[in-house]
Chains A and B, each alone.
Chain A
Amino acid sequence: MTGMIAAMDPADPSSPAEHTPPALEAAHTHALTTRVWHWVNLVALISLFMSGLMIFNAHPRLYWGEYGNRDEPAWLAIGAQGQQGFLKVAGQQLDTTGVLGRYSDSDGMTRNRAFPGWVTIPSDYNLADARHWHFFFAWIFAFGLLVFMAVSLLNGHIRRMIAMRRAEWHPRTLWTTIVDHVRLKFHTAPGEAYNPLQKLSYIAVIFIALPLMIVTGLAMAPGTDAALHWPSMLFGGRQSARSLHFILAFALAGFLVVHVVLVIIHKPLMLLRGMTIGNRA
C-alpha cells in the first residue's frame, strides 16, 4: 500500500520503480480492497452468469413489456425444431445446432436445451439448483459491489485512478486513444493509472452495468416489485427488466473477454501480480 502511494508521486526520488515509469507502476498496483473484490467478484459473476443461463433455459424466450409467455410474441427465442437448434432474434432465424437449442452432451446424448450443459451451472437441467446458486452469489456480488464502491470512493481510489480529468474528455484525446487501442498500442499519460478509454470502461462497468444487473434482477422478483414499484416500471415492465438483465449479462461477459485478452496481450505477469499480491507487497 505504501508502495502505491510512493508510486503515485512521480517526483518521489525514493520510488524504486527504476525500470518502469512511475505512472505505469501505479497502474499495476492495487489497493487490498480492490484486489480482494476483483477476485471475489470474478467468482461471483461467473457463477451468476452460468447459473443464469440455466435459469434462462427454463423459459428461453425474451419479451418487452410487463408480461410475456408462450402465447405472446418474443423478440428473442432459442429452441429446437426437429433435428435443428435455432436462435430467433427480431424475426431472423439462425441455425445453431450443436451450440444453442440442441447439442450433444459429454455422454453423446443429444439434448434439446437453449444453452448447452457446458456453459450452465449445474450442467444438467435443474432450475431449483440454478436458482440457489444464483441467489447465493447475488448476495456476494451485491454486497461486494456496495463495499467496493463505498471504500474506493472514500479512500480516493476512484478519484485517483478512474475519474476522468477534464482534458481527457477532449474529442481528440478520446479519438487518439481509440485509434491506438485498435492498433493494440496502449499508453498512459504521465501520472495517470489508466488511459481515458480504460477509465470510461471501468466507470461504465462499475457504476452502470453492475448496479443495473442488481436493479433489473430485483425488478423481476414479485416480492421486491411489490415493495418497490419503480425498478420494474422504470424498465417498462417485468419482462423488459428480464430482457435487460439478459442483455447486460452478455455485455459483461463481453467485457470479461476483452479485459482478459487485453491483459494477455499487454503485460500479463505484471498485471496479474498487481491484482494479486500487489507489486511490492
Chain B
Amino acid sequence: MTDRPQSNILTRRALVGSLGLAAGGLLSGCDALNANPGWRETLRLAENGNMAIQRAMLGRDGLAREYAPRDISRSVPANGTRTPADADYMRQAASGFSDWTLSIDGLVERPTRFALGQIRSMPRQTQITRHDCVEGWSAIGKWTGVNLAALLDAVKVRESARYLVFHCADTLRAGPYYESIDMVDARHPQTMIAWALNDELLPIGNGAPLRLRVERQLGYKHAKYVRRIEAVSDYRLAYGGGGGYWEDAAGYEWYAGI
C-alpha cells in the first residue's frame, strides 16, 4: 500500500504520455493503413455484407417510402453534372431534345431505339420519393416516367443478362458518366426512367430529358442524361470495371443501399 501513490503518479504520467503518442501515431497510422491494398480489400468486405443483409430484409420488391404532395421539398438540388458541356448534348438541349433517343441493346432479343416522344407517351408511373445523396442531404420530389421493367419486357431481355449498364450523355473529369444495377433493382416496381419532376419536364440539372430512378439506393446510382441502356452479363467488363463513374473515379461502393 505504501508504494501506491508513487506508482500512481508514474502510471498517470506514462498513461498521458502514451495517449499523446497514440493520438499522433493514430492519424499517420490510419493514413498508411488506408493506402495498404490488403487493408482496403478487407474494408470493402463490408459492402458485400451490406448488400446481403439489405437484400435479405428487402426481398425483391420491398418498396421505398412514398410521400404525400405536402412533403415535397422546395428543391431537388442538382449535383454532379449540373449542365453537361458535351457539344452533342448542348445541341440536343437547344432543340428541346426533339431528336433524343434511348437505345436498349446488348443481351436483348429486340434491340430498340425509342424516341423521346415514344417514351413519354408510354403508360406512366408517378411516385413521390426521397432522394438521398451520398454526401448526406435529402430532397423529396414527385417523379414521373416509364417503369423500367416494362421497357425491358418490350425489348425482351435475355436470361443471360444479369446487369444493366446506363450510358449517359455527360462527360466529367475522368470520363463519361455511367452506372449499372442488377436485375433485381432493374425489375423493381419503383425503378423507372423518369422524364418529369414535380409535374414538369425534367430540368437539365436533374437529368433532362431522361434519368434513372432506383429508389432503394443513393443518388449517384440514379444516372442522369441516359441515352443507352445495355444489358450485360457482367458490369465489371464496362468502362473502368467498378460499375459506375464514381465507383471508378473515386472508389464508391457499387451497391449503394447505405
* A positions within 8 Å CB-CB of B: 19, 46-47, 50, 55-56, 58-59, 61, 66-72, 117-118, 121-124, 126-129, 131-133, 135-136, 138-139, 218, 220-229, 232, 238-239, 242, 260, 264-265, 267-269, 272
Does residue B45 face the partner (Cβ distance < 8 Å to A)? Answer: yes
Q: Say which residue of A129, A132, A229, A267 sits within 8 Å of B8 (CB atoms).
A: A267
Pairwise interchain contact A226-B65, C-beta atoms closer than 8 A:
yes
Near A by CB (< 8 A), chain B positions 105-155 give 130, 132-140
Pairwise interchain contact A222-B218, C-beta atoms closer than 8 A:
yes
* Given A59-B135, A122-B30, A123-B27: A222 touches B57 (CB 8 Å cut-off): no
Q: Which of B1, B27, B58, B133 counts the most chain A CB atoms within 10 A? A: B27
Query: A47: nearest residue on chain B (CB-CB)?
Result: B30
Query: A74: nearest residue on chain B (CB-CB)?
Result: B137
Q: What residues on A are CB-neighbors of B37 within 8 Å? A: none
Does residue B98 face the partner (Cβ distance < 8 Å to A)? Answer: no
Digit string of B222-258 for contact with A (CB within 8 Å is 1, else 0)?
A: 0000000000000000000000001000111100111
Pairwise interchain contact B217-A223, C-beta atoms closer than 8 A:
yes
Pairwise interchain contact A71-B74, C-beta atoms closer than 8 A:
yes
Query: B59: nearest residue on chain A (CB-CB)?
Result: A227
When A and B form their complex, what is the total count of cross-chain residue pairs whose Cβ atoms lie within 8 Å? 156
Pairwise interchain contact B134-A58, C-beta atoms closer than 8 A:
yes
Pairwise interchain contact A135-B54, C-beta atoms closer than 8 A:
no
Minimum CB–CB distance for A121 against chain B, Å: 5
Pairwise interchain contact B64-A67, C-beta atoms closer than 8 A:
no
Pairwise interchain contact B138-A139, C-beta atoms closer than 8 A:
no
Query: B24: nearest residue on chain A (CB-CB)?
Result: A118
Pairwise interchain contact A221-B15, C-beta atoms closer than 8 A:
no
User: Majority SS of interface residues in chain B?
Assistant: mixed
Complexed CA–CA distance, A131 and B133 (Å): 13
Q: What residues on A are CB-neighbors of B138 within 8 Å? A: 66-69, 238-239
User: Majority SS of interface residues in chain A?
Assistant: helix
Pairwise interchain contact A223-B216, C-beta atoms closer than 8 A:
yes
* Given A227-B54, A264-B16: A127 touches B64 (CB 8 Å cut-off): no
Complexed CA–CA distance, A110 and B249 (Å): 25
With an 8 Å Cβ cutoff, the count of chain B residues facing the other chain is 57
* Given A122-B34, A224-B57: A133 touches B27 (CB 8 Å cut-off): no
10 contacts between A and B (CB under 8 A): A59-B136, A69-B139, A72-B74, A124-B31, A222-B132, A225-B65, A226-B64, A238-B138, A264-B16, A268-B12
Does residue B42 face the partner (Cβ distance < 8 Å to A)? Answer: yes
Chain A to chain B: the 4 pairs with minimum beta-carbon distance, closest first? A223-B257, A227-B57, A221-B258, A59-B136
Pairwise interchain contact B258-A223, C-beta atoms closer than 8 A:
yes
Does residue B7 face the partner (Cβ distance < 8 Å to A)? Answer: yes
Does residue B90 face the partner (Cβ distance < 8 Å to A)? Answer: no
Query: B50: nearest residue on chain A (CB-CB)?
Result: A135
Minimum CB–CB distance for A110 against chain B, Å: 19
* B positions within 8 Å CB-CB of A: 1, 7-8, 11-12, 15-16, 19, 26-27, 30-31, 34, 40, 42-47, 49-50, 54, 57-58, 62-65, 67, 71, 73-75, 77, 130, 132-140, 215-218, 246, 250-253, 256-258
Complexed CA–CA distance, A269 and B18 (Å): 13
Pairwise interchain contact B139-A67, C-beta atoms closer than 8 A:
yes
Pairwise interchain contact B140-A66, C-beta atoms closer than 8 A:
yes
Complexed CA–CA distance, A118 and B24 (Å): 9
Q: What residues on A are CB-neighbors of B215 within 8 Å? A: 222, 226
Pairwise interchain contact A71-B252, C-beta atoms closer than 8 A:
no
Complexed CA–CA distance, A138 and B47 (Å): 11
Q: What residues on A are CB-neighbors of B133 within 8 Å? A: 59, 69
Pairwise interchain contact A223-B43, C-beta atoms closer than 8 A:
no
Q: What residues on B are CB-neighbors of A269 within 8 Å? A: 7-8, 11
Complexed CA–CA distance, A138 and B217 (Å): 19
Query: B132: nearest residue on chain A (CB-CB)?
Result: A222
* Given A131-B252, A132-B43: A71 touches B12 (CB 8 Å cut-off): no
Q: What residues on A are CB-neighbors of B42 within 8 Å? A: 136
Q: Say which residue of B40, B73, B216 sits within 8 Å of A69 (CB atoms).
A: B73
Complexed CA–CA distance, A48 and B140 (Å): 28
Pairwise interchain contact B47-A268, C-beta atoms closer than 8 A:
no
Q: What residues on A are CB-neighbors of B58 within 8 Å? A: 223, 226-227
* 4 extra interface residue pairs, beta carbon distance < 8 Å, beyond A69-B139, A135-B43: A58-B136, A69-B137, A69-B138, A226-B58
* Given A226-B63, A227-B58, A268-B12: A135 touches B257 (CB 8 Å cut-off): no
Pairwise interchain contact B27-A139, C-beta atoms closer than 8 A:
no
Complexed CA–CA distance, A72 and B140 (Å): 12
